[in-house]
Amino acid sequence: MDLSAGGLSGGALVTGGSRGIGRSCALALAARGADVAIGYVANREAAEATAADVRALGRRAVILQGDAGDAEAMARVADEAASEFGGLRYLVCNAANGEFAGTEELSVEAWDYTMAAHARALLVLSQHAARSMRAQGGGSIVAISSLGARRVFGAYAAFGAAKAAIEALVRYLAVELGPDGITVNCVVGGVVLTDLFRAIPGWESIAAASAARSPLRTVLDPDDVAEAVAFFLSPAAARITGQALVVDAGFLLPGDDSSAAPVDAVTAP
């Protein structure tokens, strides 16, 4: 792809782009030269604020409403983003929605919706974005996962399974889209201090326990994840595909016999 050295060029879609990790991703991409379509589900005010910040960086921005659990909405959002920018070169599948519950409490409806809002959304968005990327000679897709795909956390069964499905789907997409010059990767976030995380009762103790377990003795902020996303979309990662990069301050490294306190629960990015 013909990109400016060290930067990005063309249109990007970031789902769940109004707040948290998605907002940080939108701003990171804009700072590197991309125009950004910001997907949101309900908080139009937050989406407009992120769009204003993208424009302040000198890039074009548009907001597009759609529920990640609605396949038709995701297809429309991808197509509208491509139309707005004359094609899509980057896709960041960040939106996360569903129900926090243990396996005994999960309803079939909650399970189906959570899986749809994660794995099916990635599939549909990638199908539609890839059509535009092929026409431009290639592109890059990054999905957001979490440690719940690899570790068990309280009330996280549906989210964890959905995130694991995302990581598996990334590998299949990478193999099938690679011949078209499209890379597909995944960023696996640890405990990230988003507004959603701070809404969890006792979030301070959860964050403290995570920091105590992590070798770097810290948790993450959304920019930490966004920087990893921007790397995967950059020319520096042009030959990297099908990979999952864990950004967790080393949380997964200590064994079960670690003296550090474990985390009881985490939230979706």
Handedness of CA 184, 171, 93, 191 (dihedral sign): negative
Active-site annotation holds for 156: yes
- Residues 40, 113, 156, 172: which is the catalytic one? 156
Using CA atoms, how far residue 228 sits from 124, 198, 251, in Å, is 23, 22, 17
Closest CA to 224 of 182, 263, 192, 185: 192
- Three-state secondary structure string covering 219-240: CECHHHHHHHHHHHHCHHHCCC
The C-alpha atoms of residue 70 and residue 74 are separated, in whole angstroms, by 6
- On the CB side of 177, CA atoms within 13 Å amount to 30
Active-site annotation holds for 40: no
- Residues 40, 90, 113, 163: which is the catalytic one? 163
Active site residues: 156, 163
